[in-house]
A and B are shown apart, each in its own frame.
Chain A
Amino acid sequence: MTLNDLAQELGLEVRAGGSALETEVRGGYASDLLSDVIAHGQPGDLWVTLQRHQNIVAVASLKRLAGIVLVNGREPEADTLQKAGAEGVPLFVSALPTFELVGRLHDLGLSGIRT
């Protein structure tokens, strides 16, 4: 599934990186500790988090993640938005809380485990 497919299905609002919506999403990872994402994130993962700090963009770039979804309707900080735009990192906002969003992503076929 592409980022665009998921965004359509789940009502994710694009905030940055709109030109990369055809990116294929290979899996998912949910965490709010960036050290944890650095350790366990995989290329092509869609990252679900409530962390809005600009460092999330650097981590997403570093780990070649497919994109980031901020939950609970949380908007990115100004710096975060700016960085995501500059680096072309897809950034979305969802009104859903993490558990619900992850559940729905899983229902759509996205897994948190690479086989």
Chain B
Amino acid sequence: MNVKFIILAIILAMAFLTGCTAKEKKIPLEDVGMVGVMAIDYIDENSLKLTVAIPQYSPEAKEHTQIFSVTTELVSQGIVDIEALSDKKVVLNQLRVVLLNEEFVRHGKARGIIKHLFRNAEVGNKVLIAVVKESGEEILKEEYPDKPNINFYLNDLLQPSINTAFNPNTNIHDFIYTQTNPVLDSIVPLLEKKEGKIEINGIALFKGDKMLRSLSKDDALIIQALQGRKKLAPLYINLNDNNKEEKMMLDLINSKVRMKGNKSMDSPKLTVSLKIEGTLVEYKGEREGHLSTHEEILKLEEDINKEIEKDISKFLETLKELKVDPIGLTEKFRMHYHGDWDKTMTRETISKLQWDIHVETSIVSTGTLR
């Protein structure tokens, strides 16, 4: 019994001894500046420009976000420099968005920086990444009069939403995953500043760790559809054959994709079958009055099928030329290959790839009128 009391007394005494251990003074919540958005710009081969946006909660401050900018060589060094400028301790716990300058990624520096963030235990894995056309610093410092706080704005902009279905919503984990996976190449959304608003203007396609070029929204949508995304953005289709121009819009699209490879490494052939179900919401063209019967709709669907197949084919040709694989088509061949697979084999496979695309559109309804 006595021993128990002694131990209890020791435990209670320990509680006070924790003050004796040499640890950093705990900074309470209100003195912590939590970085919401970080932007990295390219200056030259060795140094980069780091800009951070820290929201201000105090209702007395005039600005609701503090923006700091330093030039540095390492990201961590930059954080330390920023702390000298700010009155709070800067932490990356609530980091949400990382913006990378286009020049920066064209020089192939993205991987190092993102890897550093990945390694950092403070930063979560769901931090979104985007490439910006101009300088990230400018985007952060600009005033957006009818938009909320820049932190919320960028975060909400890059979140998955049905109308920006082409957006791959790359986060840190996805980026590292696609960078280190020999089968894939990374894609990152591309932002551009336009008259007081920020717009997602396509995606940036990487080859290895350098950005190769940017792709349009339609191409990006194809990537998403082939990767298996179920709900797609409204699709604008332009049928243009035999001098008949028809424009239409399919909405509320559900898509299902199946890809099968022919397990051959020498002449790889991929069978892609894509099923799209949608509602026809707007049509402008010749057949406008004649779309009430079932046969007419079928014909229209066939035409749409051909058009989409053409688009996808064209896109895959481009990929074949550039020898990049953002979709992961070569995964179907890796599955049946025994041995180590690396990037060169991906490039080879893509350059030899043949394909066979079947698209099946089905127009579910035409709105509330016939």
- Whether chain B is bound by chain A comes out as no
Point out residues on A near B: beta carbons under 8 Å.
none
